[in-house]
Amino acid sequence: QVQLVESGGGLVQAGGSLRLSCAASGGFFTINSMGWYRQAPGKQRDVVASISSGGGTNYADSVKGRFTIARDNVKNTVYLQMNSLKPEDTAVYYCNLISDFPRKYSYWGQGTQVTVSS
Tens-place pLDDT, residues 37-88? 999 999 999 999 999 989 999 999 999 999 999 999 899 999 999 999 999 9
Residue 29 above 90 pLDDT? no
Q: Which amino acid, residue 20?
A: L
Task: Please say if the pLDDT value at position 113 is more than 90.
Answer: yes
List strand residue ranges (DSSP E) for the chain, in order: 3-7, 10-13, 18-25, 30-39, 46-52, 57-59, 67-72, 77-82, 91-101, 105-108, 112-117
List 98's β-bridge partners, or say none: 33, 106
For the chain, the residue count is 118
- Say if residue 1's pLDDT is above 90: no
